[in-house]
Amino acid sequence: GNSVTQMEGPVTLSEEAFLTINCTYTATGYPSLFWYVQYPGEGLQLLLKATKADDKGSNKGFEATYRKETTSFHLEKGSVQVSDSAVYFCAFPYSSASKIIFGSGTRLSIRP
């Protein structure tokens, strides 16, 4: 069945470092793909999305490209800040558009 595999954390980087968090999926067809972020003590919020192959989603300096050849949707940021410290989740529809599943989450900590 459909599944999503996400890079395990925690990931610790220094401020202004380059970030990549890997996400790969197994699905029939080409579902929309999402990255969510969870700041400490809060619920999840949508960070970015891509609705079809080769689309690039972007928001707050983060980017992710929907690559159907490698079934991947890796999250990247060129220069991270302390305020980016959070848990990041890859997500996509499971068996239908109404059933969204999430990866295991990657905790990111940024050192000043």
Partner 1 sequence: NAGVTQTPKFRILKIGQSMTLQCTQDMNHNYMYWYRQDPGMGLKLIYYSVGAGITDKGEVPNGYNVSRSTTEDFPLRLELAAPSQTSVYFCASSKGQGENTGELFFGEGSRLTVL
Residues 40, 69, 70, 99: which binds partner 1 (CB under 8 A)?
99
Beta strand pairing status for 11-14 and 106-111? Answer: parallel
Q: Which is nearer to partner 1, 62 or 92 (CB)?
A: 92
Site string for partner 1, 35-74 (x = CB under 8 A): -x-----xxxxx--x-x-----------------------
What is the H or E stretch that residue 106 is in? strand 106-111
Contacts of range 27-32, beta carbons closer than 8 Å, 24 or more positions apart: 27/2, 27/71, 27/92, 28/2, 30/66, 30/68, 31/2, 31/92, 31/93, 32/92, 32/93
Q: Which is nearer to partner 1, 70 or 99 (CB)?
A: 99
Residues 75, 92, 108, 110: which binds partner 1 (CB under 8 A)?
92
Smallest distance, Å, CB 96 to partner 1? 9
CA distance 35 to 90: 5
Contacting residues toward partner 1, per CB under 8 A: 6, 31-32, 34, 36, 42-46, 49, 51, 89, 91-94, 97-105
